[in-house]
Structure 1
Amino acid sequence: MLIATSNFRVLRRPLESALNTLVGVLIVAVVRASMLYFGVPATSQQIVFGIVLIAAIALTIDRSKMRIVK
């Protein structure tokens, strides 16, 4: 039973990763399409998309695994 549970967890992680990637791609597509729909200039689109990307990465980083370099 322990082996089956262990294997299920190993097999489940790639599926979770693929789903997370799909959700990320959909978010990017919606943000870009929304900016086009609202007529945001190209330069502003890049700035807004960069801010959204930095915010998304900052929110998903596991800070407990980071080493602090001084």
Structure 2
Amino acid sequence: GQQQNDPSPQEHNHAMEEGTETPKYDHLTVYSPLSESETLLYCSAFRKDTGITVDCIHLPAGEMTARLEQERDNPQA
């Protein structure tokens, strides 16, 4: 995801309490083994609720698992 460096005041206050700043993202990539229509439904609802752009990548479960294992040290989604 891409980070924005301007957290809301509420996020900033929470971050100060915790001692770390919470990153805010404006883009998310999702791998999903669900049906393509179901994946798009969830991703669309997430975007509508959060304003975060979502790239939904539908993959069969085995292919998704293999990709996650390959990306273990450098996750892409």
TM-score norm. by structure 1 comes to: 0.36
Give the number of the structure whose residues are more often strand, by fraction.
2
> Per chain length, whose mean CA-contact separation is higher, i.e. which structure has more relative contact order (CA < 8 Å, sep 6+)?
2
Give the number of the structure whose residues are more often helix, by fraction.
1
TM-score norm. by structure 2 comes to: 0.33
